[in-house]
Amino acid sequence: MTGRRGLDFAEPLIFERGSPGRRGTSTLASPLGTWDASREAPSEFLRRGPVGLPEVGEPEAFRHFVRLSRWNFAIDLGMYPLGSCTMKYNPKVNEAAARMPGFAELHPYAPESWTQGALRLLYELAHGLAELAGLHAVTLQPAAGAQGELTGLMIIRAAHIARGGARTRILIPDTAHGTNPASSALCGFEVVPLPTGGRGFVEASVVERAMDERVAAFMATNPNTLGLFESEIGRIAEIVHAKGGFVYCDGANMNALLGKVRPGDMGVDVMQYNLHKTFTTPHGGGGPGAGPVAVTKALEPFLPKPVVAKTGDVYRFEFDRPKSIGRMRSFCGNFGVLVRAFTYLREMGIDGLTRVAEMAVLNANYLRVNLRDDFQLAFDGPCMHEAVFSDKKQKASGATTMDIAKRLIDFGFHPPTIYFPLVVHGALMIEPTETETKETLDEFIAAMREIARECRESPDVVKGAPHHTALGRLDEVQAARRPVLRWKRECEEKPRPR
């Protein structure tokens, strides 16, 4: 039997497949002859023995990876309720656009006269994003949210220096994503954490006490990572501006605001988008992404260069920008991601994007209300695009957030984000996104309720989960520190309840 169970394949490491001499390629002899490295390369650079590559045929190699892919989960398989990550469905029309030869095969050094269409796309995407942000101008260069944060902070630093006074501190609420303090530190700032108030957001009085002439910016995520709107942001922006600081908004949660609220109207001076979240470009597994940064008119001169400009009907790169912080990324950023985001923007229009925010918030609140009897809400009351629970009600059973997350896999759902935000002990951060149907949400709710029942009646089933995957629970710390790259037959023989 090759199947572990039915059509669910057991698969060893590729090194354990094959036999000596098997090849997956058939290369034609080169008309240029072969190159004998040993005659020309210095001997210290020469390999001492065989490389140790797997020796398998093409079908074996192909099946190996396809079988492994079937142990995996994807947004095209089911709901992926990872809070903060906005794992929405990736429309396939985006892929068709990004694969058009005029985009996909464009050389980054092709002259501007040949690339007017691509430049126009960049220009119009930047303008669309600026409009949604309620800000003046946008750079598309940053390759991720975190790089967008760094870009925004470098712009803020440059603006303070240009005004004649370097500032050293950034105020960051304690609900922030780890990239916020990391980007600040990378940019040379000292991070001052601000406590979240009893209602789940930062109170203006807290900012008032921390704000002085050393502070370069207040950096907040809105809605924050508790899924709550920073309701005092308007007042906070006044306090920060009065002392000469800037307001930075981490825009990773823009999915909740699209078309409804513009950060610029809240007093935000700089924000980054995460196009791979809000604008449906595929993400996970490390990229690629895009983190465009929007800024006010006053900060526009500091944007990375070049920016795409338009004179009459002609688009061009503008390099002559003496105050620019310089380049943040080669060429135009992750161009393929930008094509996908532009396609989404054009497909949805402002009405469609507004519906996205409405449906995302509705879906999250539907989950919140249907799960709040079984799981402890971190903060009661309406949420934005995600709802944060904890394992408090399961405490007595001994089952933890980690166990609940692993058990969800047995029910065919990717686990939500866990143990984040750090201010909620045992957090389960659930973001359904707007692309899930009511039927899927109901299935998810049923699974979560069943797990809550198991925690009460048979907690060992939850604690041992997952039971229906190719591999059981990993010791994640050991797996990262001391990986054992050998297939163990015992993994298959583990007893499987249910």
* Whether the Cβ atoms of residue 355 and residue 258 lie closer than 8 Å to each other: no
Q: Are strands 314-318 and 376-377 parallel, antiparallel or unpaired?
A: unpaired
Binding residue for ligand PLP (CB under 6 A) from 132, 135, 144, 294?
144
250 vs 300, which CB is nearer to ligand PLP?
Answer: 250
Residue whose Cβ sits closest to ligand PLP: 145
What whole-number distance in Å separates Cα of residue 321 and Cα of residue 65? Answer: 48
Q: In the range 332-351, which residues lie near ligand PLP by CB under 6 A?
A: none
Number of residues that bind ligand PLP (CB under 6 A): 13
Q: Could you tell me the smallest distance in angstroms from the CB atom of residue 289 to ligand PLP?
A: 5
Q: 76: burial class by Cβ within 10 Å (0-12, 13-18, 19+)?
A: exposed
Q: Could you tell me the smallest distance in angstroms from the CB atom of residue 229 to ligand PLP?
A: 14
Q: In the range 209-238, which residues lie near ligand PLP by CB under 6 A?
A: 221, 225
- Choose one: 28-36, 142-150, 377-385, 404-412; the region binding ligand PLP (CB under 6 A): 142-150
Q: Is the peptide bond before 421 cis (omega within 30 degrees of 0)?
A: yes
| 179 contributes a contact to ligand PLP by CB under 6 A | yes
Binding residue for ligand PLP (CB under 6 A) from 64, 88, 160, 177?
177
| 291 contributes a contact to ligand PLP by CB under 6 A | yes
274 vs 400, which CB is nearer to ligand PLP?
Answer: 274
38: its two tokens: 């040993």
Q: In the range 36-65, which residues lie near ligand PLP by CB under 6 A?
A: none
- Choose one: 34-42, 89-97, 144-152, 312-320; the region binding ligand PLP (CB under 6 A): 144-152
* Whether the Cβ atoms of residue 468 and residue 410 lie closer than 8 Å to each other: yes
- Choose one: 141-149, 205-213, 426-434, 445-453; the region binding ligand PLP (CB under 6 A): 141-149
Q: In the range 81-100, which residues lie near ligand PLP by CB under 6 A?
A: 84
Q: In the range 300-329, which residues lie near ligand PLP by CB under 6 A?
A: none
128: its two tokens: 């669309």
Angle CA 387–78–336, to nearest 5 = 90
250 vs 269, which CB is nearer to ligand PLP?
Answer: 250
- Choose one: 9-17, 24-32, 138-146, 362-370; the region binding ligand PLP (CB under 6 A): 138-146
Q: 317: burial class by Cβ within 10 Å (0-12, 13-18, 19+)?
A: middle
| 386 contributes a contact to ligand PLP by CB under 6 A | no
What whole-number distance in Å separates Cα of residue 233 and Cα of residue 230? Answer: 6
Binding residue for ligand PLP (CB under 6 A) from 118, 132, 138, 146?
146
56 vs 254, which CB is nearer to ligand PLP?
Answer: 254
What whole-number distance in Å separates Cα of residue 488 and Cα of residue 180? Answer: 41
Q: In the range 236-275, which residues lie near ligand PLP by CB under 6 A?
A: 250, 252, 274
- Choose one: 140-148, 388-396, 404-412, 467-475; the region binding ligand PLP (CB under 6 A): 140-148
* Whether the Cβ atoms of residue 441 and residue 387 lie closer than 8 Å to each other: no
291 vs 306, which CB is nearer to ligand PLP?
Answer: 291
251 vs 466, which CB is nearer to ligand PLP?
Answer: 251
| 145 contributes a contact to ligand PLP by CB under 6 A | yes
| 280 contributes a contact to ligand PLP by CB under 6 A | no
* Whether the Cβ atoms of residue 77 and residue 440 lie closer than 8 Å to each other: no
Q: Could you tell me the smallest distance in angstroms from the CB atom of residue 184 to ligand PLP?
A: 12
- Choose one: 31-39, 72-80, 143-151, 451-459; the region binding ligand PLP (CB under 6 A): 143-151
85 vs 404, which CB is nearer to ligand PLP?
Answer: 85
- Choose one: 37-45, 139-147, 373-381, 387-395; the region binding ligand PLP (CB under 6 A): 139-147
84 vs 184, which CB is nearer to ligand PLP?
Answer: 84
Q: Could you tell me the smallest distance in angstroms from the CB atom of residue 133 to ligand PLP?
A: 16
269 vs 431, which CB is nearer to ligand PLP?
Answer: 431
Where on the chain is the footprint of ligand PLP (CB under 6 A)? 84, 144-146, 177, 179, 221, 225, 250, 252, 274, 289, 291
